Amino acid sequence: MTATETPVAIVGLGKIAVDQHVPSIAASPAFRLGAVISRHASMKGVPCYSSLGDMLAKEPDIPAVALCVPPQVRFDLAHEALSKGRNVLLEKPPGASLSEVEALSDLAKSNGCVLFATWHSRFAKGVPRAKEWLANREIGKVMITWREDVRHWHPGQQWIWQPGGLGVFDPGINALSILTEILPAPVQMTAAELEFPENRDTPIAARLSMRGSGKLAVEADFDWRQTGPQTWNIEVETDRGLLRLTGGGAHLEIDSRDVTDAEALQSEYDGIYGRFADLLREGRSEVDVSPLRHVADALMLGKRLVAAPFND
């Protein structure tokens, strides 16, 4: 530990916290893990609390909190931390609704706190280069194929099937976060088909149509029933060539030529904590809700289709 490391507390010690947040905090020169808040788990050598309120009362020198809990319970915890003057990092999606996130953004501003709504896929290795390459090109068709195995990534996690859990949009919003980052102009949702298992409250598959200015048209295919190799691809046709992002944004090809190559998820969370350190130093929040807005629009415009029951 050095004098320049900022202690950060993690709320929720589930898979994403253990696999991504904890290692990235450990690797960061800007942060150290100051505390863990969890009702069911603990971490050796780190102060552990069963409630956020207890931690806030007993750890006045921890200025930042990373919320790694399901979105349905995130608002109250973020509100509690911001009300106590702590800076907050939100896992994606930043909330269960747009109005929740907007309220938190207003609270952070009024209390002089930093609020960072993270989108980890934007920190994938190929994304910044893709954004740069597309900036001055006329974009035609965009095809997104985002198919994965929910049993592998969310084993036994019932919150994803409950209202506010997003269902297949939990991974699909990663694709939308990349899309909204790399396109030089916004797109609007025009139609959607959503497949809901007859025993679940959130969709297991979605097909989306979006349009932008000129010839820009986006089609997206999200599905949580794929087994074997996982598919996280975005293909963009332009007036000056074809761009392909694969591996969730880790691999970038331009006209079939490899431009960058990295393991999926590699350094994404390192990038998140690097950005959080910058925001804290600048005293500036970053809250982009455009990916979540596309999900909300899909749920508003979507035609509901009934799929076979899903059981873990």
Side-chain half-sphere exposure of 308, counting CA atoms within 13 A = 3
Side-chain half-sphere exposure of 177, counting CA atoms within 13 A = 25
Collapsed DSSP state (helix, strand, coil) of residue 5 = coil
Backbone angles phi, psi at 121, to 5 degrees: -65, -20
61 C-beta neighbours (distance < 10 Å), count: 7
Among 186, 190, 178, smallest CA distance to 245 is for 178
C-alpha 277, offset from chain centre: 18
Of 44, 92, 131, 303, which is the active-site residue? 92
Instruction: Calculate the alpha carbon distances from 275 to 28, 105, 145, 181, 278 in Å.
Output: 11, 17, 28, 15, 5
Task: Report the side by side order of strands in the sheet with 257-260.
Answer: 257-260, 251-254, 241-246, 231-238, 139-147, 217-223, 205-211, 188-197, 303-307
150 C-beta neighbours (distance < 10 Å), count: 21
Please enumerate in sequence order all residues whose Cβ is within 8 A of that of 295, keeping only pairs 6 or more positions apart, or say none. Answer: 93, 166, 169, 172, 173, 176
135 C-beta neighbours (distance < 10 Å), count: 10
Helices 98-111, 74-83: inter-axial angle, 10-degree rounding: 10
Among 252, 198, 182, 189, smallest CA distance to 217 is for 189
Q: Answer yes or no: 92 catalytic.
A: yes
| Rounded Cα distance, 272 and 206, in Å | 28
Which active-site residues does the annotation give? Answer: 92
